[in-house]
Every structure is written in structure tokens, then in C-alpha cells.
Amino acid sequence: MNAVTHHTLPNGLTVLLQEQHAAPVTTAWTFYRVGARNEVSGITGASHWVEHMMFKGTPKFGKGVIDVLTSKNGGYNNGLTDLDYTCYLFTLPSERIQLALDILADLMANATFDADEVESERTVIISEREGNENNPAYQLYEEVNATAYHVHPYHQPVIGWQSDLRAMTRDDLFRHYRTYYAPNNAIVVVVGDFETNAMMQQVEQYFGAFQGKSSQPSVRSVEPPQESERRVLLEKAGTTAYFRAVYHTPEATHADMPALIMLDSILSGGKGMSFFGGGVGLNKSSRLYRALVESELAADVSSGYGFNHDPSLFEVGATVREGRSLQEVEDAVFAELERIADKSPKPAELAKAVKQTRAQFAYATERVSSVAYLLGVLECIHSYNDLNIFTERLAAVTPQDVQRVAQTYLKKSNRTVGWFNPVVSSQ
Amino acid sequence: MPSLPSPENITRVELPNGSVVLVYENHASPSVIVRGHLRAGSLFDPDDLPGVAAFTAEVVERGTESRSFQDIAEETESVGAAVGVGAGVHLVGFSAKGLSEDLKLLLEILSDILQHPTFPKDEIERVRGEILTSLREREDSTGAMAQLAFRALAYPKHPYGRDSLGTLASVSAIKRKDLMQFYRQYYRPQGMQIAVVGDVNASAVVALARKYFGKWNVKGMPPSFAIPPVKPLNKLKRKHIKMKNKIQSDVIFGAPALPRTHPDFLAAEMADVILGEFGMMGRLGDNVRDRLGLAYYARTQLEGAPGPGAWSAYAGVNPQNVDTAVEAMLSELRRIQDEPVSNEELDDVKDYATGIQPLRLESNDGIAAALLDMEFYNLGLDYLQRLPSLVRAVTPEQVQSAAQKYLNTETYALVVAGP
């Protein structure tokens, strides 16, 4: 990977720059350390709604202007909100990237939050939520998550609960914005076809004048250890049955994380590293695929590790094949998880998992947007530099490490199991 | 810094068996993609057995004379590579992506899958169950059901109106001999196009392509690729698919428009960008989402296809807002027919259409798709160099006239799927 320049401005803003000259394209991002994690009961979904309000304008860039300017300059933009962060990205032909810096800086302090625009966006976000609710797999995801977390705010979905979306006010949103949007709570990432010194000067010029704010409220709630299995049963109209099981696992910086990533690869293949595409599916030779899909119990199966600021979840999900039962799928999933806890994997399985990660990493670096996303997320959670030592850490994992984390975390008492059981035809 | 793909830097070779190989070197990342297609899509499904093309594409990668499905998965995934085959309406697409050090393996396996599939009985049953499950899942998706019913209404008795995945009945009835017969008839090198893009040496790629695909010969001529004529709709057709368990409705309306190679296509495409893409989902997004707050998504889509693809508008809305949203979308469609776009708005859209090219061509996948597009539609390998001047030449009158001619706001098909 090309060298990354890391610099902190006097106002506390973290800046990460990486030159990539393969294509005449540059991407610029701001990350804020705020997401569902920072929301309390009554304002769930505030971070995501604040993200939507950015595109409703500032005094300098009026409503709709940001999108029009992005398009006419041959670029694209987006905003993303997750559990731990909110981010904004602009990818443009390199010679136009100043526009992105200008807009991103303006959004740090000057979004208008016009009351009428807040109302019109309320129904847009409710429509986004209702689109999700149309999908039974989403319903199961939300229910299982909320059951696994009783106390910590990861309990709530990023989009927020319906009642909060109906009740939240303009001032709730504006307060959230003013609290968390500050240079000392933000990271600027620029990756692409530029010269580092000149770009650093530009970033300082656009972002240097903002004042840092007193520190943001910390997240107090800590999820207590789970002591017995929890179960969720959704019996609703539908056509297909879905299975989901989650296990509490530690935060991203924990020493067990590399072994959990290897465990996930062995169970269902190494994962793509970016939702900007380019990754490939590597699931068909994995243990879960053989046990669930080859055996004709499920139409598909997947697993995933949570990579978050606070303790997260390891998950397994499956779509039950026509004519098979949730119980059969559940039994087969748990048998596979017990197998790896009982006997350490072969060294060859680990070597394969490491090569898969190396390949997915190469695919992710084809696009400047993917690289910037990876750097920003890692810096939000801990340090961008984790990317450099990522493959090294994975290569150091032993078969015994994988077995040990399977024994430690994939325990019955630590799991929440969800079934979506379709009861009547939807027609 | 590499320039755009052009006749100078694309290597194009026609093999004696009628296939075409395109190579573009991009050394930015140590990876490579192989992407190609054959003329074996659902267009060729027998009328009484929809779903054969899609089923065949799934099964060819499930075992060859020398490899089982698990051998193929293990060989590719153990080096972090993936191969896949899938059917569309016109074409069967195949792809392989991996680290460039493994290119030889990728080409060898792709050629093995395409030339020596054995259609193992147990794999056919596995695939059948997976397709049946996805057909059942689809019955519970408002978006998918609305699309499906829309196509059937807009293209009656035409392959474009068919269900590519098949039906519960047809997929249950398809036999091994149907798949093998479809394979024998349509999988052949004539008309096959392959693009290889990534950290590779072009002449080495051509040599490998000759080695693995050059000996593939199938007797006889490939079937005609002519698209049957499409009858314009003579009245407005509406359909409501009742899905009582849903919270939101998906609505889509539109009609057949024009082929990708029609001289008016670019002007129509510009109208489509204005309506549903520029800024945040174009004029539709501006009106239905930003102004009225009715929907998270509302946009248009103009399909580029060898025959007249559909030009449609769609949105996901609360069931009580369906009529309001349709009216708002229709009013935008009528406005672009009634009022010429201003020079200023059109210039912005032209800047977008030309400026966005480097972003689309940033990755190997994007370049491979562009190469295949140029080859399949005979656009010429200098198309990306010519595109800016073609775009600049489009006038407001041409945009308006394309909207009047091809955007059907009177006799269209409209489907709502939801409560």
C-alpha cells in the first residue's frame, strides 16, 4: 500500500492523505465519531437524520445545490451512517476535488436545518424505514439485535425506531449536530491523484479555522455478560424461513479480533472489504456452505464478525431451503460451530483464509473510494495504521487460536437465536 | 498515468473459431478480471419451458469432465479467486476475478466450465432447490413482483416480457436433457466475447486465450439473434398485486422504448439522466423525494438493449400515497415532453455525462464492462474518445423530441405491488 500521511491540525482535526496515481480520480471524505452508538432513547436515528439534513443545504450551498454541483463536475457523493460513525464522501475527477473540500468544510458547521425541510425529510426517512420493514430478513435482523443488546445502544437500529422518527424535533437534530460535528471529533481522508504537500495546504485552508469544541459525551452504558441463551420467534406472513444467530464478541481492538476474522473466513469464506464493490464471494468451499447448502438444508448461508468501537456480535444467517425446516438448519449450524470448537482447523485452512484476505485487500484497493473508506473507519475505531499490519496479524493466527476463540465466544449461553417462520401466504 | 481505453492501448484479437478477445493492461493493483459473454440468454428459452437458460447457466459451473463442483470451488477460492456464470435476457455472462498471479488458473477453469460441463444429477437437484427457494422469496418482495408484472404487461407475448428465472411449475419440470440440449444448441465460441483487464501482459493473455479457448469448435451456425418486433401498447394497462403483509408499496410504470443502437438513443439517455439521475435522482427525485417527501427513492430507468428496452419510472411509497406519487412522476415526464430543457440545464448534464467517465473506468470491472459494451454493440474501440463530442452535439430539441417519441405517458403499463 502507498504511504499514508497522518497529521493533526491545531484545532484537533485528524487528516489522512494517500497519493494514488493510477487513475485521474480523487476522493475526499469527512468522518465524524457519531452514530447509533451515541443515541439515547427518544432520539434514535438522529445521526442518520442529521446526515440526510446535510444535503438540504447551508447558506453557501442551498438546498439541492450540493448534488447538482457534484453531478455537473462529473462526480458522485454520498453520506453513510453506521453504529460508530457518520461519513460523507465526494469522488471527482482530480482537478475538481477542491469543490469537495469546500462543501465538506462548510458542512462541519453551517448546515441550516430549516424546519420545513426537517418535516419533509421526516417522511422520506420513514419511507426508508418502511422499505426495510417490507423485508422479513431485515425484521429478523432488527429483532435479534435488539434482543442480544439489552443495555448498550447497539440495541437500536441505525435508522431509528419508528416512534422516535415521528416525534423527534428540529432542535433535537440540531443539538445532535452541534454536539458532534467539530474538528476534534472528525477525520478528513483524501486519497487519489494529487501531491501531498499541496493537498495538506488545501485541507488546512478549508478546515483550519474551525474551533475545537469541549469533548463530546461519552457512552456510559456497558452491556453486561449474557448468561443464558435468548430466543426470538417471528411468526408472520411470508414465503420463506430465515435463521439468524448472534454471539457477543469483543471490540475491534481486542487481541482476539484477528482469530475471530480467521474463524469467520473458515466458516464462510474471506469477505470483501468495502461496500464500494470489487470484492468477490468466496463462500462455496467453506465449512458452512458444505454443511448447509451442499446438504440441501439451506439456499444460502453466511457468517460475519462485528468490527466495532464497543463489544460487538459474531453472526450466522441462513435462508431455509423450500421444504426444509428451521430446526434442521439450526441443528446443522450449531453442529458446525461445535466442530471447530472441538478440534482446531488444519493449517491449510488457515493458509487459505490468509490468501483470501490478501486477495480481497487487493480488490478493495482498485478504487480510491474503497481505500479512503477503510482508512477512515479504522481511524474512527482505533488507527488507520491497523491496515498496514492487518495481513501480518492475520498470518500470525494459529489453529489453536481459532479453536480457542470458537470455544470462548460461540457458546450456547452467549447466543441469541432468531427464527423467521412464515405462517401464512402473503397473497 | 494510463489514458482512457482506446484503439492504441486495447489489444483485440479474433480467434479462428469466431470468438473475440480484448485485453487492457492496468497495473494499479495486483489483480485481474476476466469477463465475457455468450449468446445464450433467456431470449432462447422454449415458450413452454421458461427458466431453462438461467438453470443451464447455474449448472455448467457445477462439474466438468475433470472437476467436481467442490474441486472448482476449492481450486479458485483457495487462492482468493471466484468464478461465476449467470444468464441475462440476451447473454450468458461469465467472469473470473483473482490475483494476477493466478490468471492462468482462472482461464483454464473458465474454459473447462464452458466447454466440458457434465450436468451431474445431484448438482441439478441442488440448483433446482435453490432456484425454487429464490422464486418463493421473490413472491414476498414488492419490488421484484412489481418489476415482473410490469414486464409481462409491457411486453405481451414477447421474450422481453418473460420471466427469466422461470416459474415454480417450469423449474420443477425442467429435466437434465432439457439443460443439455440447451447447452449443445447455444454454448459455442461464435459470438463469444472475452475481456481481460488488470495487472497482466497483453500478449501473454492472448497466448493463454488461444490455448484455452482456441480449440473450442462447435459445428453449425449460431441461432439468429434477431429480436422479435414489439407491439406498442394501445391502451393504459394497470395491475395491482395484493401483498397484504407489506407496509410499503412499490410502483412502476412505463413502456417499450428504443434499441441501444438507435440514432436517437443518446438523446433519450440524456432525457433519462435529467429525469432520474442528475443531482439526486434527477427531476423525479427533486419533486417526489425532496419537495413532496413521499419516497426514499423515485427515479427513471432507460434500458439499453439490442431490442427496444423499457423506459420506466418507479418509486417505493406508503400505500396511501401511490396515486399522488404517480401523478407527480407523470407530471415530470410530461414537462420534459412539453418544455424544451434550457441550454444551461442541458450543459450541466453534458458535463456530468462526460466528466463521470474517469470514475466509471477507475476499476478493472468498470473497464471490462466498457470493453464488452463497445464490442457487443459495435461502437468501435474509439467510442470513449468519441463520446464527449457525441454528447456535446445533442440539442435541447433532440432531447425533447426523444422524450415525445419514446417516453409513453398515455398508453403505458402500470403495476403496484403492496397492500
- A280 and B82 in contact by Cβ < 8 A? yes
Specify whether the CB–CB gap between B46 and B200 falls below 8 A: no
Please say if the pLDDT value at position A25 is more than 80: yes
pLDDT tens profile A316-331? 999 999 999 999 999 9
Across chain B, what does the average pLDDT equal?
95
pLDDT tens profile A392-401? 899 999 999 9
Mutate to test the interface with A, among B24, B26, B31 (most CBs of A within 10 A): B31
Say whether residue B71 is in contact with chain A using an 8 A CB cutoff: no
Distance CA B219, CA B185 (A): 10
Q: Searching chain A, which residue's CA lies closest to the CA of residue B366? A: A278
pLDDT tens profile B335-353? 999 999 999 999 999 999 9
pLDDT tens profile B388-402? 999 999 999 999 999
- Mean of the pLDDT values across residues A240-265? 96
Specify whether the CB–CB gap between A186 and A212 falls below 8 A: no
The predicted structure's pLDDT at residue A277? 62
Separation of CA B19 from chain center: 21
- A426 and B356 in contact by Cβ < 8 A? no
What is the residue-wise DSSP string for A172-225?
A: HHHHHHHHH-SGGGEEEEEEESS-HHHHHHHHHHHHTTSPP-SPPPPP---PPP
The predicted structure's pLDDT at residue A273? 79
Say whether residue A133 is in contact with chain B using an 8 A CB cutoff: yes
Nine cell digits for residue A337:
460451530
- B1 and A23 in contact by Cβ < 8 A? yes
Number of cross-chain residue pairs from A and B with Cβ atoms under 8 Å apart: 212
What pTM was estimated for this model as a whole?
0.94
The predicted structure's pLDDT at residue B280? 85
Q: Provide, as residue numbers in chain A, all residues whose Cβ is less than 8 Å from the Cβ of B354.
A: 74
Rg of chain B, C-alpha, whole Å: 23
Please say if the pLDDT value at position A425 is more than 80: no
ipTM over the 0.90 cut-off: yes
Q: Which of A123-127, A193-197, A422-426, B170-174 has the lowest mean pLDDT?
A: A422-426
Nine cell digits for residue B220:
453449425
Distance CA A314, CA A304 (A): 6
For A5, A13, A204, A209, A212, the CA distances from A10, given in Å and listed in that order, are: 16, 7, 10, 10, 9
The predicted structure's pLDDT at residue A123? 94
Q: Searching chain B, which residue's CA lies closest to the CA of residue A356? A: B80
- B29 and A365 in contact by Cβ < 8 A? yes
Burial of A197 (C-beta count, 10 Å sphere; 0-12/13-18/19+): exposed
Please say if the pLDDT value at position A199 is more than 90: yes
DSSP strand E in B263-339: where?
A: 295-302, 310-317
Of B28, B130, B354, the CB nearest to A74: B354
Of A123, A284, A299, the CB nearest to B133: A299
Specify whether the CB–CB gap between A408 and A250 falls below 8 A: no
Say whether residue A116 is in contact with chain B using an 8 A CB cutoff: no
- B81 and A278 in contact by Cβ < 8 A? no
Q: Which of A293-297, A408-412, B217-221, B300-304 has the lowest mean pLDDT?
A: B217-221
Residue B282 one-letter amino acid: G
Of B30, B134, B142, the CB nearest to A299: B134
Say whether residue A175 is in contact with chain B using an 8 A CB cutoff: no
**Which residues between 290 and 309 in chain B have a beta carbon less than 8 angstroms from any beta carbon of chain A?**
290-297
- A123 and B130 in contact by Cβ < 8 A? no
Distance CA A265, CA A260 (A): 9
Mutate to test the interface with A, among B69, B76, B245 (most CBs of A within 10 A): B245
Q: Provide, as residue numbers in chain A, all residues whose Cβ is less than 8 Å from the Cβ of B134.
A: 299
Q: Searching chain A, which residue's CA lies closest to the CA of residue B130? A: A299
Burial of A237 (C-beta count, 10 Å sphere; 0-12/13-18/19+): middle
Distance CA B4, CA A162 (A): 48
Nine cell digits for residue B189:
465460441
Would you place residue B318 in the very low, low, confident or very high pLDDT band (cuts 50, 70, 90)? very high
Say whether residue A20 is in contact with chain B using an 8 A CB cutoff: yes
- Beta strand A4-8 with B310-317 is unpaired
Q: Searching chain A, which residue's CA lies closest to the CA of residue B134? A: A299
- B293 and A76 in contact by Cβ < 8 A? no
Please say if the pLDDT value at position A83 is more than 90: yes
pLDDT tens profile A337-365? 999 999 999 999 999 999 998 889 888 88
- Mean of the pLDDT values across residues B194-217? 97
- B359 and A25 in contact by Cβ < 8 A? yes
Please say if the pLDDT value at position B208 is more than 70: yes
CB atoms near residue B102 (< 10 Å): 22
The predicted structure's pLDDT at residue A427? 47
